[in-house]
């Protein structure tokens, strides 16, 4: 019934092995050379992502939080291979088996994209204004050679219903400018999910949306994750949003993961001095609540050729000699799976 | 009445577009006491920034104040000629803009720009005293006075926002409007800057209007809060009243849709629908198509802002405590 390489029935039937982790990242690094001029070799590098290691089990969405420049977006782009890593390995276990994607090229890379998709921050920029909603949502199917036109139409209509753009036939042939910000983000979600991926990187998908619209998108993403067996890497600067969108939380600072654990654990009992400062800076929607002052020095720097010591050393309120004399501390389990990269906790 | 710095009465402002008139600000009234900080909160397009630009009379060409009065102390700003308004702007009412980079001229040293603002209002006697005044302002907002000699691009985001605050303070105005002053900043920088602004406000007994879409920021900085929806002020009360006893269903919806990192993790509620298109706002209460309590009267008549006691104003036929 289909001359495509995979039928839609096949897509819907993909159930990966639940006993394997979904994503396993080891020693991942991304360095950007600072240009020093034509024909010169660069000696300075921005260490955007610097030797990070983590595992995402199936069905346990990971929230990735940190300030601008912490490397969270770079990490997201590496995991979908929008950019190439400098070093390290990324294993993704899907229905297609274990794939090490850090060095995939060409057709293999394209095929891998059926399993891993991305949702971007700005629904005004991420949709092509000249393409209809149908063209936009169907594009991953076309690229992957899935289904014929009739099947694609059926699949797109199905997705539009799932994301709440109902009835789908009134949306299919409209253009992005005819939709509100919330509706556009629903289109972006439909596009990401149309090939039935197992892993989706969502980079600040609700930060451009107003509160009354945002909650709807958050609920939708959670509902679809459960229904379709999708696991998210949810990137955000907003810790309150991360609380609702992730089972586990990783905190990044200057290219390093400094703390990782169950979301509620990290928020209630932060271990790393940076996480503690970050959490105490978050405004609380209650005028009667008085926050403490964040205990942190100075301001964020750029990770250009960082010294071989704790990245947080200069700003840390409890820094000691051991933190300066040794390289950046490893991320270690401090009890109950709650990890921190600090010599002093 | 004398202790009110600002009184806005029935302010109405429209934008004229090719598609028709946009009712951006519709019959908005509120007052602000000296030394008070008021927060205006609402979503994109609710008219909160339009109120700020109306107060400063910095409206684009296609915008027009259609009615109402803006009394700054006892002067009605709506009635002023542009020439007179220019003397008041910055001198008696100033603004901290959202995009600090755009508020500073990239080709002049930051210190010189502030001196120029003071000069325009006849506040400069000699260059030396002016430099000393600006150095004091820099110290006040937590900037090293040496930075006066640098250009805006040499500043970080947080430093630029501080420079813009120094500029807003430079003519010792009666009222400062801060429109999303920390929106583009990271939380630690935001925290630092908001603390600084609140400290200054108390120290100098300043009157402030904070404008933000972020209800957590508004909760922390405001004594009083006004909630805007689709061009209208729907609720106005003390910060604690608005957060602990919201009366308008929209305010209540906003509160229960907003996540927090503290306290028990409660389920977030979704408000159905989207804010209306202000080219064709719904009749009656503009929130009625999204309101779970709407009845026939809400579809026909515009509810007026009324005091329901405890100095708590709400524009609703079915305020929450009755529901």
The overall average pLDDT reported for chain A is 91
B195 in contact with A, Cβ within 8 Å: yes
Q: Find where tokens 């069905």 sit.
A: A59
> What confidence score (pLDDT) does residue A19 get?
66
> What confidence score (pLDDT) does residue B122 get?
86
Q: Work out the pLDDT band at A2, boundaries 50, 70, 90.
A: very low
B245 in contact with A, Cβ within 8 Å: no
Non-local (6+) Cβ contacts of A334 within 8 A are A271, A340, A345
A69 pLDDT above the threshold of 70? yes
| Closest residue on chain B to A268 (Cα) | B262
Contact A240 B260 (CB under 8 A): yes
> What confidence score (pLDDT) does residue A6 get?
39
> What confidence score (pLDDT) does residue B102 get?
74
Contact B261 A210 (CB under 8 A): no
Contact B259 A282 (CB under 8 A): no
A278 in contact with B, Cβ within 8 Å: yes
3-state SS track over chain A: CCCCCECHHHHHCCCCCCCCEEEEEEEEEEEEECCCCCCCCCCCEEEEEEEEEEEEECCCCEEEECCCCCCHHHHHHHHCCCCCCCEEEEEEEECCEEEECCCCCHHHHHHHCCCEEEECCCCCCCCCCCCCHHHHHHHHHHHHCECCHHHHHHHHHHHHHHCCCCCHHHCCCCCHHHCCHHHHHHHHHHHHHCCCCCEEEEECCCCCCCHHHHHHHHHHHHHHHHHHCCEEEEEECCHHHHHHHCCEEEEEECCEEEEEEEHHHHHHCCCCHHHHHHHHCCCCCCCCCCCCCCCCCCCCCCCECCCCCCCCHHHCCCCCHHHHHCCCCCCEECCCCCEECCCCC
A1 pLDDT above the threshold of 70? no
Nearest to B270 among A215, A280, A289 (CB): A215
Other Cβ atoms within 10 Å of A332 Cβ, number: 11
B222 with B37: CB under 8 angstroms?
A: yes
- Best of A286, A290, A298, A302 to disrupt the B interface (most B CBs within 10 Å) is A286
Chain B residues within 8 A of A237 when measuring between CB atoms: 186-187
A244 pLDDT above the threshold of 80? yes
How many CB pairs lie under 8 A apart between chains A and B? 113
A3 pLDDT above the threshold of 90? no
Q: Work out the pLDDT band at A226, boundaries 50, 70, 90.
A: very high
| DSSP per-residue letters across B145-167 | GGGGGS-GGGS-HHHHHHHHHHH
A289 in contact with B, Cβ within 8 Å: yes
| Closest residue on chain B to A215 (Cα) | B270
What are the distances in angstroms from CA B104 to CA A292, B12, B196? Answer: 33, 30, 20
Can you point out the beta strands (E) in chain B?
4-17, 20-33, 37-41, 63-72, 75-76, 93-96, 175-179, 207-212, 224-229, 232-238, 306-307, 313-314
> What confidence score (pLDDT) does residue A206 get?
93
Contact B261 A281 (CB under 8 A): no
A13 pLDDT above the threshold of 90? no
Please provide residue A276's backbone torsions phi and psi, each rounded to the nearest 5 degrees. -60, -45
Other Cβ atoms within 10 Å of B270 Cβ, number: 18
CA B12 to chain A, closest CA, distance in angstroms equals: 24
A277 in contact with B, Cβ within 8 Å: yes
Report pTM. Answer: 0.91
- pLDDT tens by residue, A309-337: 999 999 999 999 999 999 999 999 999 99
- pLDDT tens by residue, A31-62: 998 876 666 666 789 999 999 999 999 999 99
B196 in contact with A, Cβ within 8 Å: no
Contact A244 B217 (CB under 8 A): no
3-state SS, residue B206: coil
- pLDDT tens by residue, A87-143: 999 999 987 788 899 999 999 999 899 999 999 988 888 999 999 999 999 999 999
> What confidence score (pLDDT) does residue B123 get?
86
> What confidence score (pLDDT) does residue B158 get?
84
| Mean pLDDT, each 10-residue run in order, chain B (323 residues) | 86 94 95 96 92 94 96 94 92 84 85 91 88 92 92 88 90 93 88 91 93 96 97 97 96 95 93 90 96 96 94 96 64
> What confidence score (pLDDT) does residue A124 get?
84
Q: Work out the pLDDT band at A153, boundaries 50, 70, 90.
A: very high
What spatial distance separates the first Cα and last Cα of chain A, rounded to whole Å? 61
Q: What is the rounded distance in angstroms from the CA atom of residue B106 to the CA atom of residue B198?
A: 28
> What confidence score (pLDDT) does residue B2 get?
58
Q: Work out the pLDDT band at A212, boundaries 50, 70, 90.
A: confident
């Amino acid at each position: 019934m289909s001359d495509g390489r995979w039928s839609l029935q096949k897509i819907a039937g993909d159930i990966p092995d639940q006993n394997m982790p979904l994503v396993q990242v080891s020693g991942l690094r991304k360095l950007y050379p600072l240009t020093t001029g034509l024909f010169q070799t660069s000696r300075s590098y921005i260490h955007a992502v610097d030797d990070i290691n983590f595992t995402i089990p199936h069905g346990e969405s990971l929230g990735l939080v940190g300030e601008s420049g912490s490397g969270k977006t770079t990490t997201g782009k590496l995991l979908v291979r929008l950019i190439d890593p400098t070093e390290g390995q990324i294993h993704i276990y899907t229905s297609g088996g274990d794939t090490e994607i850090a060095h995939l090229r060409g057709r293999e890379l394209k095929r891998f994209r059926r399993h891993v998709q991305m949702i971007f921050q700005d629904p005004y920029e991420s949709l092509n204004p000249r393409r209809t909603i149908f063209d936009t949502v169907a594009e991953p199917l076309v690229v992957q050679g899935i289904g014929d036109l009739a099947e694609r139409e059926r699949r797109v209509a199905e997705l539009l219903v799932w994301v709440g753009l109902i009835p789908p036939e009134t949306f299919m042939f409209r253009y992005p400018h005819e939709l509100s910000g919330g509706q556009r983000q629903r289109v972006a979600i439909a596009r990401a999910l149309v090939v039935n991926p197992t892993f989706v990187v969502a980079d600040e998908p609700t930060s451009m949306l107003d509160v009354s619209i945002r909650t709807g998108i958050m609920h939708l993403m959670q509902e679809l994750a459960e229904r379709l067996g999708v696991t998210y890497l949810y990137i955000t600067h907003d810790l309150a949003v991360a609380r609702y969108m992730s089972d586990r939380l990783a905190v990044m600072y200057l290219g390093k993961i400094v703390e990782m654990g169950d979301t509620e654990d990290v928020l209630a009992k932060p271990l790393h001095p940076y996480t503690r400062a970050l959490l105490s800076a978050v405004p609380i929607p209650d005028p009667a609540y008085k926050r403490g002052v964040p205990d942190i020095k100075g301001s964020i720097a750029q990770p250009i050729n960082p010294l071989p010591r704790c990245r947080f050393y200069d700003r840390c309120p409890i820094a000691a000699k051991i933190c300066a004399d040794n390289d950046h501390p490893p991320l270690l389990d401090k009890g109950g799976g709650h990890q921190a990269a600090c010599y002093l906790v | 009445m004398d202790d009110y710095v600002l009184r806005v009465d029935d302010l109405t402002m429209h934008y004229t577009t090719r598609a028709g008139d946009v009712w951006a600000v519709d019959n908005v009234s509120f007052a602000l006491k000296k030394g008070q900080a008021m927060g205006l909160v609402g979503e994109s397009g609710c008219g909160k920034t339009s109120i700020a630009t109306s107060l400063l009379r910095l409206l684009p060409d296609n915008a027009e104040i259609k009615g109402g009065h803006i009394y700054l102390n006892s002067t009605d700003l709506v009635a002023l000629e542009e020439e007179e308004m220019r003397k008041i702007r910055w001198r008696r009412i100033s603004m901290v803009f959202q995009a600090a980079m755009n508020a500073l001229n990239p080709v002049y040293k930051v210190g010189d720009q502030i001196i120029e603002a003071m000069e325009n209002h006849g506040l400069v006697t000699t260059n030396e005293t002016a430099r000393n005044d600006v150095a004091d302002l820099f110290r006040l907002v937590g900037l090293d006075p040496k930075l006066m000699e640098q250009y805006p691009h040499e500043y970080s985001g947080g430093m630029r926002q501080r420079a813009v605050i120094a500029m807003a303070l430079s003519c010792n105005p009666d009222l400062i409007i801060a429109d999303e002053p920390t929106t583009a900043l990271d939380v630690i920088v935001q925290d630092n800057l908001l603390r600084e602004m609140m400290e200054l406000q108390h120290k100098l007994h300043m009157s402030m209007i904070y404008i933000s879409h972020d209800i957590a920021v508004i909760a922390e900085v405001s004594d009083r809060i006004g909630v805007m929806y689709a061009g209208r002020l729907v609720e106005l009360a003390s910060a604690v009243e608005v957060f602990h006893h919201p009366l308008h269903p929209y305010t209540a919806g906003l509160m229960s849709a907003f996540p927090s990192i503290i306290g028990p993790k409660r389920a977030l509620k979704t408000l159905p629908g989207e804010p209306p298109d202000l080219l064709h706002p719904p009749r009656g209460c503009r929130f009625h198509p999204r309101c779970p309590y709407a009845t026939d009267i809400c579809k026909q008549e515009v509810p007026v802002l009324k005091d329901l006691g405890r100095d708590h104003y709400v524009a609703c036929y079915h305020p929450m405590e009755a529901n």
